[in-house]
Amino acid sequence: MKTALALIILLPLVGGIGNILLGRLLPRRVVEVTACSVIWLSFIASLFAAGNYNGPAVVEMGPWLSSFTFSAPISLSLDSLSLSLILMITFVCGLIHLYSIGYMAGDPGYVRFFALLNLFTGAMLLLVLAENMLLLYLGWEGVGFCSYALIGFWYKEAENATAGRKAFIVTRIGDIGLAIAVVWMFKLFHTFSITQLNQLGPSHPGVSMGLITALGLLLLLGAMGKSAQAPLMVWLPDAMAGPTPVSAQIHAATMVTAGVYLLMRMFPLIGGSTVVVAAIAVTGTFTAFYGATCALAERDLKRILAYSTISQIGYMMLAVGCGAVTAATFHLIIHAFFKALLFLSAGCVINALHHEQDIFRMGGLYRKLPWVFWPFLAGSLCLAGVPPTGGFFSKESILTAAWGKGGMFYGGLYLVGTFTVLLTVIYTLRMVFLVFGDRVPTLASRLEGAKASGPSVHALPRIMEIILIPLALLALVGGAAGGLLEYFLASLNGSAGHVRLATEETLKGVASLVVLAGMVIAWLYYGYGSQHREVRIAGAEHPPTRLVAFLQAGWYFDRLYDWLFIRPFTWLATILWQRVDEGVIDDSLDWTAVQFGRTGQFLGRWGSGRISVYMLSLVAGATLMIGWFAWEVL
Amino acid sequence: MIVPLSHLLVFASVLFALGVICVLIWRTNVIMVLIGIEIMLNAAMLVFVAGSYQWGRADGQVFALMIIAMTSAEVSLALAMVVYLHRRKNTVNVDEFRQLRDR
Amino acid sequence: MTSLPVLSLLIVLPLAGALALIALRKQENVAKYLAVGIAVVELFIACWTWSAAGQQPPGALPGFFLFEDFSWIDSLGIRFTLGMDGISLLLVIMTALLTIIAMLVSWRTIRQRTVLHYILLLVMESSIIGVFLALDLFLFYLFWEVMLIPMFFLIGIYGHGRNIYSAIKFFVVTLVGSLLMLLAIIGLYVIHGRQSGLYTFGLSGLLGTSLDPLVGLWLYGAFLLSFAIKFPLVPLHTWLPDAHTDASTAGSIDLAGLLLKTGAYGLIRFGYPLFPEAARTLTPLLTIMAVAGILYSSWIAFAQKDMKRLVAYSSIGHMGFIALGIAAWTPVALSGSVLQMVSHGVTTSALFALVGMLASRANTREISAYGGLWGKVPILACFFMLFAMASAGLPGLNNFVGEFLILTGSYQVAQSATILAFLGLILSLVYTVRLVQEVLFQKERQPLPMLDVTGREALILAVLAIGVFYIGLHPGPLLDVLHLPVALLTGGTP
């Protein structure tokens, strides 16, 4: 077991480091095969670990940091939560690595790409398996760095590099919350070990519920940064500047869910605080709603998916906030499957269309890319939560948990969550219809002739399409795994309310109805043959209305932050440097020096070279001395 | 001793003061400065002689003779320099001679 | 090992080397190789002293595993006392290593008065090692002042821009502080002598001198001022950016890597142990200056246009963390501070070396002149990224370990100050990614003549990179050797 766990993490890391050091000397195929094989070997090791799993285990690998009471060994913990996550991560990452071979076929920077992708996987696995907070933080920052470097992978475009920078800095703000929580926990509990922290909990002497609340809110801040939750969600849509496999792996399936994972991990400690739990639930619900509204108006295919990721992670947060850790995990895993699937298919679409990302300029791909269409449709149905896909069950279990908590507060959250389901269906199907649906040639385009047939398409590497199939299957039938997971993770659940079977069925019915309503609305607005569709496609050429512009700009959060933080920061930086540092501090130093110089020059004038002055001074001095001497004596 | 030591000292002090005053008042004139210095040296010499008489030791008188010899040498050299300086700048004002100052 | 005066050897060897170099001043190449050879031997000796760790020689203060004591100026109670404990050990090894790095960095770039440059570096090494080993306050002060002289010439002769101005500024500002410290040393000497009748400058004798609180405050204040200028702590820092900007690369490495550490070391070795009461009274001041330094200089670093100035301001920020750890004076924080001194030496030297390498190629240090190096010089860019991330405190790399220990230790005693210091981590990431983006990413803004690393440069960077990873991933041995001295200093159980 120890070897297996070590291998799970070490294989990707070794692959990444090996590729950094030697990749440039090796032939391309070797680099690609190494990068993929280490991940799949890691998956096999995870399977082995799963096969031998019998109850939570903590394995200490060796020392890392230890000084006096400060002790953070390299120790890993395997429990049902981390086990299910490492299986998902190694599997999805393995598929995405394979896909990347096709996607990166023409790119000269493949060594850097695969090395970083491998390193990322290693860091992510470390994050999930870490037994103490410091090791978790190592993985946490490691994935952050890889994400930064991969978003800016095509570094020559300033926007890509800026997007990477934005992601890194915004998530770092959250990370500081986590870091403060870590040292605070150490102050209270004198340990970094997650197991011990969760065991000691609020009953530890000197720990009050207020402190637990503060810790929980700090952890929530960390989760907000990493998982792109309001108000730190602004980085994720921009992060789509990276290559699509990166968006699929990091910004959909794995890293962005790390925040949710952190909260689930620490739930036994912080779950006792009603304030924290409510804050998590509100954050999640608001973000889910926010993401869905933005996705409704967005035109960039990848950014729509990014907003939907924000929204779906909001659901996971809501689940954690309701104490339904199982539901959160369930949705996390299903989401990883279908969102990776959607991103990978979107990558196929974008690649086939010569890097066109505007959905209003697509259309008709249903015929041209059938191998992409069907998996994309599967992923979309799953995202929309159409029964009986996995997405329906996982989202339904979250909403049920919210309902089950009862009361005005959670009831409100349930309503917002359900309304968001409606929005989700609409924006998902809007995307599907616009990208794949046939274009009914309008009069104008009919006159132009050629345009009516839609954009031209070039062939895709086969591997990119093959990868979509297993993911599509998993997304569709993943719902069946729900029960298994429920049983597997039962020990993790917090104080989730229990819902009677009849109520549960009713809620399912309500959800199905909502989904159906959403499908109808989407059909009316964007479906084939409807008049609205043409109106909308034509309208897309005009400047957006105020509401649409508001949604497209992500509620103007970026502009707000620009005004609130970035401008004052840069402005003050220059002021501090030129006015305060060089102006006040340094100039006062220079002023002192100049004054000393002036005084010296002034006194130096005495040495005028005139002998008469010297004689006068000599006599005056002698007189003074003799006079003083005489005064003393007499 | 006919004249008491204290009188001599007072007299020497007055003489010295006169020398100082001479130097200070005509401080820009080299010749007057030299005269003032001579007067001060004479005052010092007088104290030496008086001291030697008071304690009956010859050292003071030896010093007085030394000073006489030194003064004569000094005066001859100084006056020669005055002549030289006067020839260079056509003045005996000391303040005109300040080349050694760097500015 | 005890029979050989190895500590004196550590100080004398570079000095002897400097003398030999004077004799060899006509043969530049021989002199260069000799200088590096001596520095390498010095490094080996320094590492070898590690094997003595754990011993307790007779007469030594507890914790010092090597100790040498010779009579020197007995009439004034001045002795030539050297001692090495875990703290000195790490700093001495770092000094020896960075001297080699500084020599190799300037291998080709210094073309005039080459031999003098190496002589100055050797004298510098000797005096700084002297500072780290001296246990007699007079001897400490002697080395403390001697190290200014080679530094002054390194900036003044081999610098560029307003190098004379910066050199004089550096010299005068640091000297003002040290003269006050000299006064305080003499004051302490006299007070202790009057009390006990034993006039001595030895640290072991002066420890535990009971002082009137007000007098103690004044004496400690003078020490603190001198150390704070060396640190440098805001607002006494303005000599540093100028000195760095105008110094040569080797000068900057010596300055940031070694010279700044003497301030922190002095505070740990002399400031706190000699004046425990006063130090406790002035701890809030130190904390405030530390936190202000972290935030303020990291903020300013963001606005810099000159790469070297940016690194210089970042260096002030990192030194602020060290000061924070010392102010906390808990075992964890103090270990972190010492480790951070070593880490900062490695990272900042590497960054200065990189800036020097870039500047020697493109002949400019303006950030806005660069861009797109990632594709042009991939190996150099890789190293740049690594050291920049280490400087930003990415876990797994060296700075994280020290900083996190400091923050953890400091959080136990000064919660709000530490939270502010955490914000400094955000700021440090902000200026780092700005630098990385403007230099490595984006399009090439000017066609600059760029070659990837040469073998010598790769060696320098690889050695430092190994240091970065070693401290980041396996700091155990370093923390172990710090355990005993830190426990003794903080009064905990060893």
**Where is pLDDT greater, at A40 or A530?**
A40
Strand, coil or helix: A605 = coil
- Determine whether C59 is exposed, middle or buried from the number of CB atoms within 10 Å of its CB (0-12, 13-18, 19+): exposed
- Token pair, residue A371, equals 């191998």
Largest distance between two CA atoms of chain B: 56
Q: What is the pLDDT of residue A447?
A: 46
Distances (CA, A) of A319 to A67, A130, A284, A414: 39, 23, 8, 11
Q: What is the pLDDT of residue A451?
A: 42
Residues A147 and A252: beta-carbon distance below 8 Å:
no
Mean pLDDT of A242-249: 92
State the first-to-last Cα distance of chain C, in angstroms, to the nearest integer: 25
Subunits close to B (at least 3 CB pairs below 8 A):
A
Residues A417 and A283: beta-carbon distance below 8 Å:
no
Residues C175 and C52: beta-carbon distance below 8 Å:
no
Report the alpha-carbon distance of residue C437 to residue A165 in Å, rounded.
8
Distances (CA, A) of A572 to A497, A567, C103: 50, 8, 39
CATH of the domain at B55: 1.10.287.3510
List the single residue in C239, C242, C302 with the smallest CB-CB distance to A573.
C302
Within 10 Å of residue C211's Cβ, how many Cβ atoms?
A: 21
Verify C-A touch: 3 or more CB pairs within 8 A.
yes
Q: What is the pLDDT of residue A476?
A: 82
Q: Where are the domains of chain A?
A: 273-555, 560-633
Mean pLDDT of A222-247: 92
**C403 to chain A, minimum CA–CA distance in Å?**
11
Q: What is the pLDDT of residue C1?
A: 45
- Token pair, residue A206, equals 């000197």
Report the alpha-carbon distance of residue A202 to residue A210 in Å, rounded.
10
C1, part of any domain: no
Number of domains forming the structure of chain C: 1
Of A192, A81, A182, whose CA–CA distance to A131 is shortest? A192
Report the alpha-carbon distance of residue A481 to residue A183 in Å, rounded.
38
Write the ipTM: 0.93
Mean pLDDT of A589-598: 91
User: Which residue of B20, B32, B35, B37 to mutate against A (max A Cβ within 10 Å)?
Assistant: B20
**Where is pLDDT greater, at A9 or A438?**
A9
Range of the domain at B53: 5-92
Residues A575 and A584: beta-carbon distance below 8 Å:
no
A-chain CB neighbours of B9 within 8 Å are none
- Name the band, by pLDDT with cuts 50, 70 and 90, for residue A442: very low
B69 pLDDT above the threshold of 90: yes
Mean pLDDT of A124-132: 94
Mean pLDDT of A594-615: 85
| pLDDT tens string A465-513 | 888 888 888 888 877 766 667 666 665 555 455 667 788 888 888 888 9
**Chain B residues whose C-beta sits inside 8 Å of any chain A C-beta:** 20, 23-24, 27-28, 33, 94-95, 97-98, 100-101
State whether A581 and C335 contact (CB < 8 Å).
no
A267 pLDDT above the threshold of 80: yes
Residues C247 and C287: beta-carbon distance below 8 Å:
no
B-chain CB neighbours of A608 within 8 Å are 98, 101
**Where is pLDDT greater, at A203 or C76?**
C76
**Mean pLDDT, chain A, as a whole number?**
87
C-chain CB neighbours of A161 within 8 Å are 437, 441-442
- Token pair, residue A355, equals 């890097």
Range of the domain at C327: 6-490
Q: Is the dihedral of CA A445, A447, A450, A453 positive or negative?
A: positive
SS (H, E, C) chain C: CCCCCHHHHHHHHHHHHHHHHHHCCCCHHHHHHHHHHHHHHHHHHHHHHHHHCCCCCCCCCCCCCEEEEEEEEHHHCEEEEEEECHHHHHHHHHHHHHHHHHHHHCCCCCCCCHHHHHHHHHHHHHHHHHHHHECEHHHHHHHHHHCHHHHHHHHHHHCCCCHHHHHHHHHHHHHHHHHHHHHHHHHHHHHHHHHHCCCCCEHHHHCCCCCCHHHHHHHHHHHHHHHHHHCCCCCCCCHHHHHHHHCCHHHHHHHHHHHHHHHHHHHHHHHHHHCHHHHHHHHHHHHHHHHHHHHHHHHHHHCCCEHHHHHHHHHHHHHHHHHHHHHHCCHHHHHHHHHHHHHHHHHHHHHHHHHHHHHHHHCCCEHHHCCCHHHHCHHHHHHHHHHHHHHCCCCCCHHHHHHHHHHHHHHHHCHHHHHHHHHHHHHHHHHHHHHHHHHHCCCCCCCCCCCCCCHHHHHHHHHHHHHHHHHHHCCHHHHHHHHHHHHHHHCCCC
Radius of gyration (C-alpha) of chain B in whole angstroms:
17
Residues A9 and A129: beta-carbon distance below 8 Å:
yes
State whether B27 and A608 contact (CB < 8 Å).
no
| pLDDT tens string B1-48 | 678 888 999 999 999 999 999 988 888 888 888 999 999 999 999 999
Subunits close to C (at least 3 CB pairs below 8 A):
A
**C363 to chain A, minimum CA–CA distance in Å?**
23
A453 pLDDT above the threshold of 50: no
- Token pair, residue A141, equals 């920052």
Number of domains forming the structure of chain B: 1
pLDDT-above-90 percentage for chain A: 46
Place of tokens 């040495």: A607
**Where is pLDDT greater, at A41 or A433?**
A41
Q: Is the dihedral of CA B25, B27, B29, B32 positive or negative?
A: positive
Mean pLDDT of A629-633: 90
B101 pLDDT above the threshold of 70: no
CB hemisphere CA count around A260 (13 angstroms)? 41
Residues C284 and C295: beta-carbon distance below 8 Å:
no
Q: For chain C, 494 residues long, give each residue's pLDDT as a single digit of tens.
A: 456 889 999 999 999 999 999 998 888 889 999 999 999 999 999 999 999 888 888 888 888 999 999 999 888 889 999 999 999 999 999 999 999 999 999 888 888 888 999 999 999 999 999 999 999 999 999 999 999 999 999 999 998 888 899 999 999 999 998 999 999 999 999 999 998 888 999 988 888 888 889 999 999 999 999 999 998 998 889 899 999 999 999 999 999 999 999 999 999 999 999 999 999 999 999 999 999 999 999 999 999 999 999 999 999 999 999 999 999 999 999 999 999 999 999 999 999 999 999 998 888 889 988 888 888 888 999 999 999 999 999 999 999 999 999 999 999 999 999 999 999 999 999 999 999 999 998 888 777 777 888 889 999 999 999 999 999 999 999 999 999 999 999 886 54
Report the alpha-carbon distance of residue A555 to residue A537 in Å, rounded.
23
CB hemisphere CA count around C360 (13 angstroms)? 21
Place of tokens 């919660």: C415
C-chain CB neighbours of A574 within 8 Å are 303
Angle (deg, nearest 10), helices C86-105 and C114-133: 170
Strand, coil or helix: A61 = strand
A-chain CB neighbours of B27 within 8 Å are 611-612, 615-616
Place of tokens 């015929």: A367
**A339 to chain C, minimum CA–CA distance in Å?**
29
Does the beta carbon of C372 lie under 8 angstroms from any beta carbon of chain A?
yes
Does the beta carbon of A619 lie under 8 angstroms from any beta carbon of chain B?
yes
C-chain CB neighbours of A168 within 8 Å are 429, 433
A68 pLDDT above the threshold of 70: yes
The H or E element that residue A281 is part of is helix A274-297
- Name the band, by pLDDT with cuts 50, 70 and 90, for residue A356: confident
- Token pair, residue C329, equals 């004076």
Verify B-A touch: 3 or more CB pairs within 8 A.
yes
| pLDDT tens string A131-166 | 999 999 999 999 999 999 999 999 888 889 999 999
Report the alpha-carbon distance of residue C230 to residue C239 in Å, rounded.
10
A202 pLDDT above the threshold of 80: no
Strand, coil or helix: A389 = coil
Q: What is the pLDDT of residue B66?
A: 92
B27, part of any domain: yes
In this structure, of A181-185, A433-437, C340-344, the range with the lowest mean pLDDT score is A433-437
State whether A183 and C408 contact (CB < 8 Å).
yes
What is the CA C291 to chain-centroid distance, rounded?
A: 19
Report the alpha-carbon distance of residue C42 to residue A595 in Å, rounded.
45
Within 10 Å of residue A368's Cβ, how many Cβ atoms?
A: 17
Report the alpha-carbon distance of residue A391 to residue A338 in Å, rounded.
8
